[in-house]
Structure 1
Amino acid sequence: MVISIGFEGSANKLGVGIIKDGHVLSNCRKTYITPPGEGFLPRETARHHQNNIVKLLEEALIQANIKSSEIDVVCYTKGPGMGGPLVSVALVARTVAQLWNKPLIPVNHCIGHIEMGRLITGSINPTVLYVSGGNTQIIAYSNKRYRIFGETIDIAVGNCLDRFARILKLSNDPSPGYNIEQLAKCGKKFLPLPYVVKGMDVSFSGILTFIEEKGHKYLKSGEYTEADLCFSLQETIFAMLVETTERAIAHCGSNEVLIVGGVGCNKRLQNMMDIMCSERQAVLYATDERFCIDNGVMIAYTGALMYSSGFKCKWEDTFCTQRFRTDDVEVTWRE
């Protein structure tokens, strides 16, 4: 029986979660929200995390109804992510581990999403579509590694959505992508956009540039509404993701697809993927915003898996890195 606490702060979501043998005891989160039309910068995001993490830690312990002495292992996000926020949260995790005299486990953020998704949905060996503000990858497990079959060659899908939301001055509360999703439901006219699939990889920067340059003209002329543009953007980029995911499951002979990451909350993406899966006699697994969006409990759970499989880390190796590939990690906890 392992009780672990996880600290997540790779982007604008600050999370602290506690898990006991796969049972979530607490999942506390606080999001740094900027004014409409603005993104979040590393320095201000790090300051937000610094100002809120101690209170969030207290909240997580109270919600879990446990004492610090009962915790077996402390886990934190090593990367990938934004440097300032990552280091700010890792500093607290290191301090807590020393004060409580507990082992410290550095966790890959991407693998945290995958393992949490597998736990919550009960999927066994899925092909994974990982889509978030900073990452877009199609992943499958093989021979002690999570192998990347396809990925973005420029910006992530979530970053594309976020930047388009800034153009439209949409609110960042609760997230730009969520507000695009709601607006897209009212879209009626489809604007053809560049469709960029290169083998197993995708590209979003050209689509964003096109809609940035043409969007204002179309809106001004009244030819398309904001809802039409949101609808068109979603349909195009999600079709690209479904196509590349289908290619991956065909290659792997998989009958399970798991969507993880913040963009994975999008109901339209889930619906499009479900149609593809049903045509291939495959099963789609997805979670809601509690576990799709960055959270501390996914770090706690993955760290517990690593700890239980015998993983140990020297104190001098408990650093952060903004570039930490999913396939860099040896998966010691899976058969």
Structure 2
Amino acid sequence: MKVLGIESTAHTFGVGIVREEKIGVSRKWECLSNQKDMYEPEEGGIHPRKAAEHHYQHARELLNNALDEANVEYEDLDAIAFSQGPGIPQCLDIGAVTARTLSKKHDKPLVGVNHCLAHISIGTQTTEAEKPSTLYVSGGNSQVLSYKKGRYRIFGETLDIALGNALDKLARKLGYPHPGGPEIEELAKQTDEIIKLSYPIKGMDFSFSGLTTEAERKIGEASDKVLANS
């Protein structure tokens, strides 16, 4: 089975093609192509309308590149998949419309995929973990999940902003371009020094807005790398 997937939840428009083969009672999958292009705002965070325009402008090229890299045609595909959410609505629309158009034009089944569960599924595929409890952290989500009775259940989550958003917000205050999360992570690797910052945990839930605000107040008192590591 070969499936073409379209990702457009936020700043990146991506096209991937995977092949799954059944070997005995197990299944093996292989990534045949992974093409992507990222919208980079001139300043600040993601501008939804501009990000959607970026995705629209690059969709055709990325689709063609993915097919070329995988050495397949649309006729060789068994299904078209797309990120159904969560994500930025304007960006999600571009991916959804593109996927629906391809599905109808080439008479292929259309599969909507939950963006969060897709991340977890890749982890379970690569680690061969079964029914894992998962700490899921991304730009827009931070959750503690566990698989039970055929579905994932949320046992804890952020009460305000996600950890990825918190890192991006701090990075902007420090003057780094979007996405700032990778910049913060690289800075943190440069020191073992930390300063004390408070962060609330309520049961299985957590909060990052207060932590980010406190870190912003320390700008100028501590170096960027110490703030990042804290």
TM-score interval w.r.t. the shorter chain? over 0.9
**What is the identity, as a one-letter code, of the residue corresponding to 1:228?**
V
> Which of residues 36, 43, 55 in structure 1 aligns to 2:61?
55
- The percent identity for this pair of structures is 41
Give me the CA root mean square deviation: 1.3
1:186, CA displacement in angstroms? 2.5
* Gap regions ≥5 residues in structure 1: 233-335
**Displaced runs of 4 or more, over 3 A:** none
Q: Paired residue for 1:32?
A: 39
Match of residue 227 from structure 1: 225
Q: Report how far residue 105 of structure 1 moved.
A: 1.1
1:13 match = 12
Paired residues of 2:199 and 2:210 also in contact (CA < 8 A): no
Q: Distance in 1 between matches of 2:127 and 2:68?
A: 26
Q: Distance in 1 between matches of 2:104 and 2:4?
A: 14
Q: For residue 106 of structure 1, report the CA deviation from its aligned partner.
A: 1.0
Give the 5 Å matches for 1:115-126: 115-126=121-132
Bigger relative CO (Cα 8 Å, ≥ 6 apart): 1
Once the two structures are TM-superposed, the CA of residue 144 in structure 1 deviates from its matched residue by 1.2
2:222 partner amino acid:
Y
Q: Is the 1:187–1:229 contact (alpha carbons within 8 Å) kept by the matching residues of 2? A: no
The whole-number CA distance in structure 1 between the counterparts of 2:32 and 2:127 is: 17
Displacement, 1:188? 4.8
Paired residue type of 2:224: E
Q: Once the two structures are superposed, what CA deviation does each residue of 1:117-150 show, in whole Å capped at 9, x if it has no partner?
A: 1112222232111110001111110001101111
Match in the other structure for 1:210: 214
* Higher strand fraction (1 or 2): 2
One-letter identity of the residue aligned with 1:110: C
Equivalent residue in structure 1 for 2:75, among 69, 78, 81: 69
Corresponding residue SS for 1:170: coil
For residues 92 and 84 of structure 1, the distance between their equivalents in structure 2, rounded to whole angstroms, comes to 13
Residues 68-217 of structure 1: matches in 2 within 5 Å? 68-172=74-178, 175-212=179-216, 214-216=217-219
- 2: CA distance between counterparts of 1:72 and 1:101? 10
- CA deviation digits over 1:271-306, x for unaligned, max 9? xxxxxxxxxxxxxxxxxxxxxxxxxxxxxxxxxxxx
Match of 1:23 among 3, 27, 30: 30
- Whole-Å Cα distance in 2 between the matches of residues 188 and 141 of structure 1? 36
Structure 2 match to 1:4: 3
Q: Decide whether the 8 Å contact of 2:5 with 2:16 is kept in 1.
A: yes
- Equivalent residue number for residue 285 of structure 1: none
CA contact (8 A) 1:187 1:230 kept: no
Amino acid in structure 2 at the alignment position of 1:81: G
- Residues 282-293 of structure 1 correspond to what in structure 2 (within 5 A)? none
Query: CA offset at residue 8 of structure 1?
Result: 0.7
Distance 1:120 1:34 in 2: 33
Aligned residues: 222
SS in structure 1 at match of 2:199? coil
Distance 2:114 2:181 in 1: 24
Asked whether the equivalents of residues 189 and 224 of structure 1 are also in contact (C-alpha less than 8 Å), the reply is no
Instruction: Report which of the two has the higher share of helix.
Output: 1
Structure 2: distance between partners of 1:209 and 1:157: 13
- Give the counterpart letter for 2:107 in structure 1: N
